[in-house]
Amino acid sequence: VQGNQGFMRKSKMSVLERLLLSKVRRTYGIKPSIGLIKKAAELAALYFVPENRVNGMEHLEEVRRLLNEGRRVEIVANHSSDADFPVLEDALRRNGFPDLAERLLPLYGEKLERSFGTMLYARAFRRIPVWSPYTETQSEGEKQQKIIVNLSAIKAAQRAVTDGDIVVIFPD
């Protein structure tokens, strides 16, 4: 599991909040108050995704119940953009499921590390890196790396659900 907070450390901040905090630190060299960052993230989310809501709340109540019983939960979600995970996390927080939002741990393709923009926000949250089966390898070494990364991802996902995290899978 990778992320800017260290190995498997949970954070009470949303992805957007961590992004804003990181940007302010890098740009101005200061650490603003968490309250200010939370308010800025809330305003940005409302501006960019004002209609972000959750349909099927009864299913999330069931997820909460299963987790409270110590059961393992994975979410397989439709994938429409590289912003799917932050949008999902924000929707859960806004609609009364902040406890579930804090447990989300997405499998994220290595392609996010190749684009500067997506790399920045991908590093703002905990994630399990995977190598997409659709990404072609350029060399034998890269092929071996793909195998190692994906085997590690399977083990990390198994540990995560055992520890009570919700592994989120966005199939291509």
The residues, any chain, with a CB within 8 Å of residue 143's CB and separated by 6 or more, are 137
DSSP helix, strand, coil percent of the chain (3-state; round to 5): 55, 10, 35
* pLDDT at 2 (0 to 100): 45
Residue 22 has pLDDT above 60, yes or no: yes
Whole-model pTM: value is: 0.70
* pLDDT at 44 (0 to 100): 67
* pLDDT at 84 (0 to 100): 78
- What value, to the nearest 5°, has the Cα angle with vertex 122 and ends 101 and 10? 40
Q: Which whole-number Å values give the CA distances from 23 to 20, 49, 62, 82, 112, in the listed order?
A: 5, 20, 37, 19, 18
What φ, ψ does residue 136 adopt, rounded to 5°? -80, 145
Residue 4 has pLDDT above 50, yes or no: no
Single out the residue of 110, 112, 148 nearest to residue 132, CA to CA: 110
* pLDDT at 154 (0 to 100): 93
Task: Give the pLDDT confidence of 92-121 residue by residue, as tens digits.
Answer: 888 899 999 999 999 988 777 666 666 666
* pLDDT at 90 (0 to 100): 80
Single out the residue of 129, 122, 135, 160 nearest to residue 10, CA to CA: 160
